[in-house]
Structure 1
């Protein structure tokens, strides 16, 4: 009797619930969210930059003197671009592929990435530096100075 009463209540409620489609995994590649921590006042990140716009956005980001900009892949064909200027050490998360840096800082300041196995630098010369994925995956820290 109790089972019949519960069924009488639950069946109509289930019929009223809106149908939800199963997620379409084939619709797109799952990505990740790269992080630099901390970001200081007046520093920012621009997400979901298309791959064909990455270089121009990196240049635009670092057009001002004293700025270093980092572009990193999100795993879905898009990129996150970080606008950085404060001399400090930062932690990196989800730095996996497609890392590029344009360092437009003054006074010869370098952007240095390091991890347990690899260290790479981007000089303050206005060039775009592209780092190999095997090293990018290893990087855990970043210095801007």
Structure 2
């Protein structure tokens, strides 16, 4: 009887070890410190992005205007920079004439329009009048209070 008890205990220990050892191997050696990684942000979006259009994320505030200029060097391109809430910006390279939906357009909106034929970039929303960026080589900076209300973008 004693041998059976020893075997049962040994079997229980082996089974417990078979479960706990793999779990321990997956766990970190120590808990990571709770350190803030900076200001929380958000991800601005324009939908749809058409074939050939793209977005560059995490552009520093210091680089935003130079990135807007480089983005819009090509004829027919409209470039939209919008803050991500963490001091960085997303820059959208757009050219297809269409109306799009905006998401998380909250602050620091700037546009450089290098489209041809007098095409305009227009922003609006249900409680916000239309703001326009003309194809004149200027960088347009829109006020945050207007940007909060934008939910549509029209390029044409």
TM (norm. structure 1) is: 0.88
Task: Report the Cα distance in structure 1 between the residues aligned to 2:116 and 2:21, rounded to whole angstroms.
Answer: 69
* 2:64 counterpart residue number: 54
Shift of the 23–43 alpha-carbon distance from structure 1 to 2, 3 Å rule, reads farther
* 1:42 counterpart residue number: 52
Gaps of 5+ in 2: 1-11
Task: Report the Cα distance in structure 1 between the residues aligned to 2:24 and 2:76, rounded to whole angstroms.
Answer: 61
Corresponding residue SS for 1:138 = coil
The CA deviation at 1:13 is 6.7
* 2:116 counterpart residue number: 106
Q: For 1:81-120, what aligned pairs fall within 5 Å after superposition?
A: 81-118=91-128, 119-120=130-131
Runs ≥4 in structure 1, deviation > 3 angstroms?
8-16
What do the CA deviations read for 1:8-65 (whole angstroms, capped 9, x no partner)? 668767655223314422x311111100000001101000001000000000000111
Corresponding residue SS for 2:118 = coil
The CA deviation at 1:116 is 1.2
Task: Report the Cα distance in structure 2 between the residues aligned to 1:85 and 1:57, rounded to whole angstroms.
Answer: 16
Task: Report the Cα distance in structure 2 between the residues aligned to 1:12 and 1:68, rounded to whole angstroms.
Answer: 57
How many residue pairs get aligned? The number is 139
Task: Report the Cα distance in structure 1 between the residues aligned to 2:58 and 2:79, rounded to whole angstroms.
Answer: 15
Task: Report the Cα distance in structure 2 between the residues aligned to 1:133 and 1:144, rounded to whole angstroms.
Answer: 20
TM (norm. structure 2) is: 0.82
Task: Report the Cα distance in structure 2 between the residues aligned to 1:131 and 1:143, rounded to whole angstroms.
Answer: 15
* 1:74 counterpart residue number: 84
What do the CA deviations read for 1:45-104 (whole angstroms, capped 9, x no partner)? 000001000000000000111110000001111100000000000000000000000001
1:133 paired residue among 116, 140, 144: 144
Gaps of 5+ in 1: none
